[in-house]
Amino acid sequence: MIIERIDTYPCLYELPTPYGDANGYKKYRSCYLIKITTCSGIEGWGECIDWLPTLDVGFRERIIPYLIGKNATDRIKVSKVIKKWHQRAATAVSMALTEIMAKATGLFVCQLWGGQWHERIPVYASFQTYQESADWTKHSLQIVSKAVAEGYSMAKVKIGGRTVKEDQAHISLLQNELAKSMSFALDANQSYDVATICEWQSLLQKWSNIMWIEEPLPMERINDYALLRAKLPVALAGGENILNVKPFLGLCQQGAIDIAQPDPMHEDGIDGYRHTLETMRSIGVRVSPHVFDGGLSRLYALLAQACLPPWGKMTGEEIEPVEWDVMENPFTEMISLRPVSGYVTIRQGVGIGVEIDQDLLAHYRWDGRMYQA
């Protein structure tokens, strides 16, 4: 089980039409995959996201030399060392070593983790709402309507990137056309203050199909979150950039959120991510993972969700939904796993149960040039 080789796959796709949220526009999508191979020929894949030049130098000059010769069974110890250099790189290594361990024992990853509770997982269509065109609301209605036609019954759309009046007109348009077919989460990307999000209160009281408000304020404003949670008639969700379970515990203990949203790319490796899920479940807090970037990370979020005990505290919700990026992004196609009527069926097999499309990785391989952020 000695690590013998690490191959890297930096990939870049420049978007012909930028789209975005309250933080600005995305002009490209990227991913950075690694493949770790042991001396016995067992392979495991991992994924992370960051500025590609930084990741490439970090892996070639520091992480790969460190990993060569290490035992793949030392997954947690190795990941903790790499985390000191680069948090997301540690998650990629953790993924790859988890798959290697599952293959070495002839098990599916869910079996390695103690077994599945769920054969299929609900997903919601995740949109980047804004475009630079004047008719962005019309375009938003078109792509959300397309998701309804494809069988989605839940969607996340953005607020906070326009004036409150414009955003309210946009969400009202979606509600007028699609309220009978779709439930919505509204994601402000930490762009509001308390007074501004309270301008939504009358509409939120009128709409019965709002699943949650996501990160309306900067996440460090815990007292304000607790205040909002007492005022607003919908659930509060957040935590995609939180790095481990401890801050989530603080948010929950102070009554700041209803739904925790850890992201497998941002946590202390896959083991730390699962620890967050299980801890939140043990204290009675819902967990709906954030996984907008990365097809492999999304797969691990689905597998981890499949191993969570049923929620069982709300009628009709056995397990919380996982985010599903429906925007233009070729890297979500690297794994041939698709929702049907808003659910993804977990494919069992040795390791992660699916193969990575290496032809796609080769097609979009980054050529080393600088690109516009």
Catalytic residues: 158, 290
DSSP string, 201-267: HHHHHH-S-EEEEE--S-TT-HHHHHHHHHH-SSEEEE-TT--SHHHHHHHHHTT--SEE---TTTS
Q: Residue 217 burial (CB < 10 Å; 0-12/13-18/19+)?
A: buried
Tokens encoding 293: 């970037």
Residue 43's closest CA among 336, 330, 356? 356
Give the separation between CA 353 and CA 5, rounded to whole angstroms. 22
CB 343 within 8 A of CB 105: no
Give the separation between CA 267 and CA 87, rounded to whole angstroms. 8
Tell how strand 43-48 and strand 286-287 pair up.
unpaired
Residue 85's closest CA among 50, 47, 105, 59? 59
CB 284 within 8 A of CB 257: no
Q: What are phi and psi of 344, to 5 degrees?
A: -110, 125
Write a three-state SS string for 297-333.
HHHHHHHHHHCCCCCCCCCCCCCCCEEEECCCCHHHH
Q: What are phi and psi of 320, to 5 degrees?
A: -70, 150
